[in-house]
């Protein structure tokens, strides 16, 4: 009986340890994900600032001019597609033709 109780106690202790380990690992994983999100936002902000510098004609780091040009091309394409969408949304059906007698 004592062996059973010792075995049961060890199993409970082991389960408690594993639960605590999983909780700590999840907490650290969550912190890592939060830090990655914050980093990604900072990188996006840097990109926005570089694009703004290009738009204003300011000097940008080497190699960024081509990327800024691509961003402008995307903006132009987006504007063209938005105009196309607006035109499609403004379309009205043709009135029915009156029957000829």
Convert the pLDDT of each residue in 14-34 to its tens digit: 899 999 999 999 999 999 999
More confident residue, 61 or 27: 27
The pTM (predicted TM-score) of the whole model is 0.62
| Domain extent listing, the chain | 19-87
SS3 content of the chain, % helix, strand, coil (to 5): 80, 0, 20
Average pLDDT, the chain: 91
What integer is the mean pLDDT of 54-73?
90
Is the pLDDT reported for residue 48 higher than 90?
yes
Is the pLDDT reported for residue 98 higher than 90?
no
- The helix-helix angle for 64-90 and 2-55 (nearest 10°) equals 90
């Amino acid at each position: 009986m004592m062996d059973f109780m010792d075995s049961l106690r060890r199993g409970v202790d082991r389960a408690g340890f594993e639960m605590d380990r999983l909780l700590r690992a999840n907490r650290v994983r969550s912190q890592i994900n939060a830090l990655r999100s914050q980093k990604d936002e900072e990188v996006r902000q840097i990109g926005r600032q570089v694009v703004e510098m290009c738009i204003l004609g300011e000097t940008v780091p080497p190699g960024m001019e081509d990327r800024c040009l691509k961003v402008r091309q995307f903006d132009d394409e987006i504007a063209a597609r938005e105009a196309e969408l607006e035109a499609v949304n403004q379309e009205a059906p043709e009135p029915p033709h009156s029957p000829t007698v």
